[in-house]
Amino acid sequence: MKILGIDTSCDETAAAIVEDGREVISNVVASQIKAHQEYGGVVPELASRKHIEAINYIVNKALKEANVSFSDIDAIAVTNRPGLIGALLVGVAAAKSLAFCHNLPLLGINHIEGHIYANYMVYDTLTFPHICLTVSGGHTLLVEVQEGWKYKVLGTTQDDAAGEVYDKVSKYLGLGFPGGKIIDDLAQKGNPTAIDFPRPMLRSGDYQFSFSGIKTSVRYFVQKAERAEKIANGEITIEDIAASFQAAVVEVLVAKTVHAAKTTNARTITLTGGVAANSHLRSSLTSAAKDIDAEVYYPPINLCTDNGAMIAGIAYEKYQQGLRDELSLNAAANGSIVDV
Ligand code: KG4
Ligand code: ZN
């Protein structure tokens, strides 16, 4: 069964053709990074307009690269929640029009479920239940994934998402957007113990996260006049700040994820979302998981970041479970995965 998956939830216009949930035949992504770069973050209105410009071209490219036409497609899946409302509406309108014109079943998909499914597309040995940490520009979510793609949400962020603080800290340091990869690269040349940034909620005894305090600490640290001087004369380097900031974020993410695996007896941990590309997060989670005999999986980068393949993938499972949506399908800015 071939599904066309569409995602326009944030700043990537994405479409893919996937067979039977796992075989990615094409996976096309148009990034809007350049358009948002000068603003240091995603501008929602600009994102919607860029999606409108790109959507038809990207869907046709996905079909062309897969060497198929609409007569070969069995269903159309689209992210309809959560995300930037104007951006989501573009994908939903396109998917509904195509489903109507080609008389195909339509499935509205939760974006986070797509991220969670991404590892399963690559590793067919994944066992259930497993613990999944989704970390991206918009989300920080720890869930227990049960057989049949049912989820128990363990914890989420109380304020900023992990990727969001990477992007904001990068902005404070004048390093550019998006900040994740820039900080990750700089951190490899810095001293992670140079500055003792806070580890919010590390010992809260639950699975909730909070990152805005780390972000504010970095901001104050850089703003203090005498430190600004030390930074200017090279006593404290940008690399040290990046490494110390990253150490704080990753320590909290790893501690809570491993604790969740330990208490639920899950021996499999999956990592997904844009921040799952982070080198320190990958290595430190993998080594901490070893202590409890758990194994860590993460997908290749093109399935970590936003893409249409993960949407087509989880849609295949939902289709088997009987999901079909009407042409009245709407987009929603919010959408938790407990209601799926
Ligand atoms: O999943 P994604 O492409 O889009 C959202 O759904 O948000 O994630 C984008 C986020 C950005 O905040 C970006 O800075 C972050 O992922 N990111 C990273 C790395 N690569 C991308 N964060 C930390 N380290 C990285 N290597
Ligand atoms: Zn995402």
Ligand 1 binding residues, C-beta < 6 A: 10, 136-138, 163, 166-167, 178-181, 184, 273-275, 277-278, 305-306
Contact between 295 and 321 (Cβ < 8 Å): no
Q: How far is the CA of 136 from the centre of ligand 2 (A)?
A: 6
Q: Give the DSSP letter of residue 209.
A: B
Q: What is the pLDDT of residues 210-231, one digit of tens each?
A: 999 999 999 999 888 677 777 7
CB 185 within 8 A of CB 238: no
- Predicted pLDDT at 233: 81
For ligand 1, what atom is nearest to the CA of residue 179?
14
Q: Whose CA is nearest to atom 22 of ligand 1?
A: 180
Tell me, what's the pLDDT at 340? 46
CA distance 86 to 15: 18
Distance CA 112, CA 263 (A): 23
pLDDT at position 227:
76
Mention every residue, 6+ apart, whose C-beta is less than 8 A from residue 136: 115, 161, 162, 163, 273, 274, 275, 305, 306
Task: Give all domains of the chain, ordered by start, each with its CATH number.
Answer: 2-116+306-339 (3.30.420.40), 126-298 (3.30.420.40)
Extract the runs of DSSP E, i.e. beta strands, from 115-265. Answer: 130-135, 140-146, 150-156
Model-wide pTM > 0.85? yes
Convert the pLDDT of each residue in 272-321 to its tens digit. 999 999 999 999 999 999 999 999 999 999 999 999 999 999 999 999 99
Atom of ligand 1 nearest to the CA of 306: 3
CA of 327 to the centre of ligand 2 (A): 24
When the pLDDT of each residue in the chain is averaged and rounded to a whole number, the result is 95
Q: State which of 135, 166, 306 you would mutate to test the pocket of ligand 1, scoring each by most atoms of that ligand within 8 A of its C-beta.
A: 166
Compute the distance between CA of residue 150 and CA of residue 256 in angstroms, rounded to an integer: 21
Tell me if the bond preceding 178 is cis, omega within 30° of 0: yes
| 321 or 235, greater pLDDT | 321
Residues 213, 221: Cα–Cα separation, whole Å: 12
Residue 176 has pLDDT above 80, yes or no: yes
Tokens for 56? Answer: 């038809």
pLDDT over 70 at 12, yes or no: yes
| CA dihedral sign of residues 305, 19, 82, 37 | positive
Residues in contact with 151: Cβ distance below 8 Å, sequence separation at least 6, in sequence order: 113, 116, 143, 144, 145, 337, 338, 340
Nearest atom of ligand 1 to the alpha carbon of 137: 7
User: Could you tell me the distance, in angstroms and rounded to a whole number, from the CA of residue 178 to the centre of ligand 1?
Assistant: 7
Report the percent of the chain where pLDDT is more than 70. Answer: 99
Average pLDDT over residues 133-143: 95
pLDDT digits (tens, 9 = 90+) for 76-96: 999 999 999 999 999 999 999
Closest listed ligand to the CA of 185: 1
